[in-house]
A and B are shown apart, each in its own frame.
Chain A
Amino acid sequence: MQIIKDRQLVENTWQFIADEQELPANGDITVTANRWQEHHDLLQAHPGKIGLRIGSTDFADTISGLDELALIELDFPVFTDGRLFSHARLLRSKYGFKGEIRARGQFLADQVFYLSRIGVNAFELESKLIPTALAALDDFSVFYQTTAA
């Protein structure tokens, strides 16, 4: 499936591996923060790239080795859960995370402008919503607050 990344449509190369699933032999995978903490060495040995899928209560200060990760997925349980907005902001400004930050799950196409302003650079949504989301990235050309470093 296609996602929006850096304002372009790209093919998603990543696969999420739930805690109870075995790790695949290769490929780019995301895992839970829990699995990353508990099986760090095993995951480091994985031939593909590693990313995390975090939820609203996964605080970055409890996750080690952020700089080894290529992707952090913010998994929205519901679009009104604003904690992931602060997590994104902190990942960029406090923890200096340079990799991809991707919104997925129950967020709205109407939220991509704000999300892009706080450091989220990729969006995984239903294909029919992609045109709306791409347009919404340009909802505003002006703003008052400083952007996430």
Chain B
Amino acid sequence: MYQYNQDDQTLIEQRVSQFRGQTQRYLNGELGADEFRALRLMNGLYVQTHAPMLRVAVPYGLMSSKQVRKLADVARKYDKGYCHFTTRQNVQYNWPELARVPDLLAELASVQMHAIQTSGNCLRNTTSDHLAGVCTDEIEDPRPYCEIIRQWTTLHPEFAYLPRKFKIAVSGSERDRAAVQLHDIGVYLVKNAAGEVGFRVLAGGGLGRTPIIGKEVRAFLEKKHLLSYLEAILRVYNLLGRRDNKYKARIKILVKETGLEKFTALVEEEWLRIKDSMELSEQQIAEIKQHFVAPAYDSQAASDTSHANQAASNLEFARWLKQNTTDHKVAGYRVAFVSLKAPDSPPGDITADQLDALANLADQYSFGEIRSTHRQNLVLADVKQADLYALWQQLDALKLATANIGTATDMICCPGLDFCSLANAGSIGVASEINELLDDLDYLYDIGELKINMSGCMNGCAHQSVGHIGILGVDKNGEEWYQITLGGSSENEAAIGERLGPAVNKARIPSAITEILDVYLEQRLDSAESFLQTVKRIGLDSFKTKVYANH
């Protein structure tokens, strides 16, 4: 993974000093609340229901074991012994004390971590495929380009006060696992007719109140032009994006209101002007790529097949192996998911002790690296198949081996009313009720691949609009109600879910979910047809009839 040089380190240390000064001036009454708000947000610090919330950046979801130990350390010293992984592959602490945040940031800086631009109306953390570099369907590893983008976005002097937040995602594989089409800018590595690898660039996607799928602004961009193209898009957006209404300020509204053709023409005009002055040289790209060379894989790894026998004699291990591991490009290796969706724990949460133990497992079994996914799980990307059984036993003891990756209980969920000052609904409580409902593993596996995304309010932090089943908390006269959508997807065939009907009361959610799953099980062609495929084939009518029949 990328290792900081002296300049990178200096930059984040100076950022800590800067924020320390700003915090001090605020506490002394020399800096107003509104001014400090903008500055603290750009250092990831929100003021929430109970206490500040600090969001730490995990660039494109990649962490070293050393960094994970530091996250554990910080969770103990500044929080209540746990933290939360978000849909942007970042980490959140819910209880740090404002006056101590500069110290917390200084600790993070000691392991090349920071909270720069994890909030506020600025360029946010660049996200990517959690299987980058190890998956079997990759055109090219996206991480070097993510790092190039990370550096360009970090403290960009011109684009720190955008109309609204701005998110970029990069995918390098055939299958989109990074929700690229739902980003302000989405970048796919693609091969053109001549066999050259470059970028396909989308703009104007986004979730939140008005979910929109990104539109292609350039079918093929040479690698050397990556940053000039991004800069051109950002400049057009910074100058023309709406600033009169927070809910119409994202680039998706600008693209929609300007029209794709005109928007693209504005971008291209600016790009033509600046492209020669911002070229990335082959050497620059090669230098960054050196940070992402493959680890020293064991060429004999495939010869040990003991895991197959272990699976044959241990049902729980077999389930985990099938559900929580996936193919690796190197023979004899598998990618292991660490489920943060244990039934009795809020989705995405992890304790300091689990983090420490996981850091040790990463050192022992996966070259000391851990990844976060946009579905709020973790990944040990390079596990030898011979080590899988031992890894599973230890993960199981840590309650990190719930064999539910990709299933209905692998829900994306926001912190909701329990923590967030914006929420209308207690998403975590509802998630736990759905978990109880789906505690029969045979039933869960029979339903198969299903993405349930649940947000506690319109801001849609948990991407409910692209969940196969989306659940959105709404407030009705002080009561929690839930709007259900079906058929959303954030993958290659990205789609915004369709509303099933009127919102249902909180008490009705578990039965409504059961009814929806019943319709699927009754109507699917066979067990190979996924929930999403069935919804697309039969439409919403049968689901509506069932859910609203007696109400």
Contact = CB atoms under 8 A, between A and B. Distances in A.
B161 interface: yes
Contact of A142 (B14, B121, B273): B14
A97 B52 CA distance: 44
Given A94-B273, A141-B14, A113 B152 contact: no
A140 B15 CA distance: 8
B277 A108 contact: no
A14 interface: no
A5 interface: no
Contact of A145 (B14, B22, B157): B157
Among A87, A117, A145, residue most surrounded by chain B Cβ atoms (within 10 Å): A145
A85 B463 CA distance: 32
A83 interface: yes
A76 to B, nearest CB: 10
Given A110-B35, A141-B14, A82 B7 contact: no
B238 A82 contact: yes
Nearest to A108: B35
Interface in A97-149: 108, 110, 113-115, 117-118, 132, 136, 139-146, 149
Contacts of A140: 11, 14-15, 18, 155
A139 B152 contact: no
Nearest to B243: A81
A62 interface: no
A86 interface: yes
B239 interface: yes
B157 A81 contact: no
B387 to A, nearest CB: 39
A89 interface: yes
B161 A81 contact: yes
Contacts of A85: 157-161, 238
Contacts of A114: 155, 157-158, 160
27 contacts: A79-B38, A80-B161, A82-B121, A82-B158, A82-B161, A82-B163, A85-B159, A85-B238, A86-B235, A86-B238, A86-B239, A87-B239, A89-B235, A90-B235, A108-B35, A110-B31, A110-B39, A114-B155, A118-B158, A140-B14, A140-B155, A142-B10, A142-B14, A143-B155, A144-B151, A144-B156, A145-B152
